[in-house]
Amino acid sequence: MSPALQLGVMAFALYVAAWGSQKLGVSSIVGFISVGVLLGPGGVIPVFAVTDVTHLLAELGLLLLLFYLGLEFSIPRFLEGGRATLVAGTIDLVHLPVGFGLGLLLGFGALGSAFLAGALYISSSGVIAKLLAERDLVANPEAERTLGVLVFEDLAMVVVLGGLGIATVGGDASRFLGVGVVLIAYVLLVRFGRRGLERLLSREGEALVLLLLAMLVLVSLGAKSLGFPEAVAAFLLGMLVSESSYRVRVETSLASWHAVEAAVFFFDVGLHVTLGSALRVLPAALLLLVVTMVVQLATGFMSGRLTGLSARGSIGHGLMLLPRGEFSLVVVGLAAGAQAIAPDVRDALYATVSWYVLFTVVLGSVVFSRYDGWSESLGRWLRSPAARRREEQRQRDLDAMRLD
Amino acid sequence: MPEPDVTPIEVRESTLPGVGKKYVMPLATGGNVAIVVRPDGQRQVFHFLPEEDRPCDVVTLTRDEGQQLANLLGAPMVASPDLDKLELVLGALEIEWVPLEDDCDLVGRTLAESRLRRRTGASVVAILRGDTALPNPDIDVTFEAGDTLLLIGSDEQTRAARALIEGGGA
C-alpha cells in the first residue's frame, strides 16, 4: 500500500471504530485499540503494519494528547481545588506503592515495577472528563472532587515520569545536565517569557495552527534530545500556554488535529499488541484490574468521606476514577525504550498494561452507564449506622404523614 | 413601572477542568440550581432538591437556546469572559477589550499621562473595573491593575494600542 492509501484505509477503519464505540456506548479509545489489535500484525486479519506513517502520526498524537492535558489540567486549576483536592489526591497516591508491589510479584524487577506503579496510579483524565460530560454527571459534587484528583494525578505524573526518565538513563552525568537545562529553561520561560508568548499566540487562522504545531514538535524533540521525556515536555508546554489569554483559541484551532492524532496514538498501541500475547498476559492484566477496583474504590470512598461527600458521592468518586488511559500508555511507551530493563520484561509490561487499560476503559464505560443505580445502592450499603438510622426515621416520619 | 431592586444572591463559581465552568446558586425553596457552561457555549441547568447531592433534572441548552431563555427570564445574558470573542468588527471600526496586567507600566498613571490616543490613535471609551464600568473616563482617571480598557479605533489603531499595553505600556 502506498502511504496515502494506508492513511485512507486507516482513517476509514478508525471511523468505523469511533462510530461503533459510540453505538455501543463505550469510550472510543476501546474501539481504536481494538482495531489496532485485530487488524494489526498480530491480529485476526493483518491489514496494517507498523510503518513510518503510523509511527509519525502516533508520535504526534502522543504530543498532542499531553499538550491538551497540560492546557486543561494545570497548576492554577490545582490551586483552585484547595484543601479537599490535596487530601483526596494524597490518599490516591497509595496506588504507587501498590503498583510497585504488584510489579515485583509479577517479576518485573525494581525498575519495571516502578513503571508499572506509574501506569496503575494514573486515571485517564481524557476518558473520565468525556464520560462525565456525556452522562450529565458534571454537576454532582463528587465530579468536582474527581476532576480535582485528576489534576493532582497529572501533575504528580510529571514528577514521576521525570524521575523514571532519569532512572532509565542511569548514572550518565551528561543526561542529568540535559534534564537540568530543560527544567531551568522552563522556569525562566514561565518567569520571563509570558509577554513574548502572549504576542506569539496572538497570530490568527492558519498562522496560529502552524506555529503551534512547530512549537509543540520542536520543543518536545529538543527536550528529548537532552534526555528529557518528550511527553512531559509537551505537557509542560500545554501548561504554559494555558495561562495565556489565548487558551480557548489554541484549543479550538488544534482540535481536529488532536482528534485524528489521538485516535492514531491508541490505534498504534493496538498494533504493538498481538492477540497471542493476550493469553500470556491475561492473568496479570486481570489481577491489575481487580486490585485497581479494590484500591480505587477504597481510597475514593475514604477521601470522599474525609472531604465532606455523602456515602453515595464518596463511592461514586471511587467509581469515576477507574478508567486508565493515555498516561498509562505513555509510561509503558517510555519503558519500552529503556535499555536498563530486560527486553522480555519490557514486552510483558507493554502488553500487560495495554490490555489492562483496555479493560479499565470498558469497565469504566459500563460503570458510567449504570452510575446512578450503582453509586446509590453501594452508597446505601456503605453509609454509617447513624446515617442509616436517620434515613429510616425519616422514612417512618414520611409514612406517618401519609397515614394522617 | 420600574422593577424593584434585586438583591444579588451569592453564586459559587468553580472550574471543572476538561469540562467548563460551574455556577451553583442556592434557592429560597431549598436545594439549588447548578449551571455548567462549556467552552462551545452549551449550557446545562441542573436542579438539586434539598438534602440531595444528585440532580433531579437537567436541561441542556445550545448557545442560542441559553440566550433565549435568559431573555425570557428578563435579563440579557452576560457574555462569557472570552476576550477573543469580544472583538467586534463594524466595517473599519474596531472595539477591543484589553485587560491591564499587574505589571503593566500604565497602572498607577492617569489616562492623560498614558497619551494612549496620541501614540496609537485609539481612544479609551470606557474602563471596566470589577463589576462597574466608567464610561467616557475623564483624562485624570488613574489606571488600576485588573482594569479592562474598552478601546475604539481603526484596526491598526486598536492593534497598536493592544501591543503597547501588552508590551508594558512604557
Q: Bridge partners of B126?
A: B135, B150
Considering A181-195, A211-225, A337-351, the range whose residues carry the highest mean pLDDT is: A211-225
What proportion of chain A, given as a percentage, has pLDDT over 70?
97
pLDDT tens by residue, A23-47: 988 888 899 999 999 999 888 888 8
CA distance A37 to chain B (A): 29
Confidence of residue A89 (pLDDT cuts 50, 70, 90): very high
pLDDT tens by residue, B2-31: 455 567 788 888 888 888 889 999 998 888
- Asked whether residue A58 is assigned to any structural domain, the reply reads no
Question: In A238-348, where do the E strands start and end?
Answer: none
- Asked whether residue A262 is assigned to any structural domain, the reply reads no
Confidence of residue A105 (pLDDT cuts 50, 70, 90): very high
Domain tally, chain A: 1
Q: Bridge partners of A123?
A: A324
What proportion of chain B, given as a percentage, has pLDDT over 90?
14
- The predicted pLDDT at position A205 comes to 84
Q: Which of A53-62, A291-300, A395-404 bottoms out in mean pLDDT, i.e. has the lowest?
A: A395-404
Whether residue A77 lies within 8 A of chain B, CB to CB, comes out as yes
- The predicted pLDDT at position B157 comes to 86
Select the more confidently predicted residue: A394 or A62.
A62
Mean confidence (pLDDT) of chain A: 89
pLDDT tens by residue, A380-390: 888 777 777 87
Confidence of residue B83 (pLDDT cuts 50, 70, 90): very low
Q: Which residues of A touch B19 (CB under 8 A)?
A: 129, 132-133, 138, 147
Chain B residues with a Cβ under 8 Å from any Cβ in chain A: 14-20, 22, 34, 36, 38-39, 44, 46, 48, 53-55, 58, 60, 82-84, 99, 163, 166-168
Helices and strands counted in chain B (H then E): 4, 10
pLDDT tens by residue, A142-171: 999 999 999 999 999 888 888 887 777 655
Whether residue A136 lies within 8 A of chain B, CB to CB, comes out as yes
Whether residue A132 lies within 8 A of chain B, CB to CB, comes out as yes
- Asked whether residue A403 is assigned to any structural domain, the reply reads no
Q: Which residues of B touch A138 (CB under 8 A)?
A: 16, 19-20, 22, 36, 44
If you measure CA to CA, which chain A residue comes closest to B38? A133
Q: Which residues, in sequence order, are CB contacts of A256 under 8 Å at separation 6+?
A: none
* Partner-chain contact B17 A73, CB within 8 Å: yes
- Asked whether residue A54 is assigned to any structural domain, the reply reads no
* Partner-chain contact A139 B48, CB within 8 Å: yes
**CA-CA distance, A14 to B82, in Å (whole number)?**
34
B91 pLDDT higher than 80: no
Mean confidence (pLDDT) of chain B: 81
- Asked whether residue A302 is assigned to any structural domain, the reply reads yes
- Asked whether residue A9 is assigned to any structural domain, the reply reads no
* Partner-chain contact A138 B36, CB within 8 Å: yes
Whether residue A133 lies within 8 A of chain B, CB to CB, comes out as yes
- Asked whether residue A233 is assigned to any structural domain, the reply reads yes
- Asked whether residue A179 is assigned to any structural domain, the reply reads yes
Q: Look up residue B22 and give its amino acid.
A: K
pLDDT tens by residue, A261-272: 999 999 999 998
Assign 3-class secondary structure to A114-170. Answer: HHHHHHHHCECHHHHHHHHHHCCCCCCHHHHHHHHHHHHHHHHHHHHHHHHHHHHHC
Range of the domain at A295: 67-255+279-350+363-396
**CA-CA distance, B68 to A348, in Å (whole number)?**
57
B28 burial level (CB within 10 Å; 0-12, 13-18, 19+): exposed
Angstrom CA distances, A247 to A62, A67, A70, A191, A212, stand at 20, 12, 11, 18, 12
If you measure CA to CA, which chain B residue comes closest to A308? B53
For the whole model, what pTM was predicted? 0.78
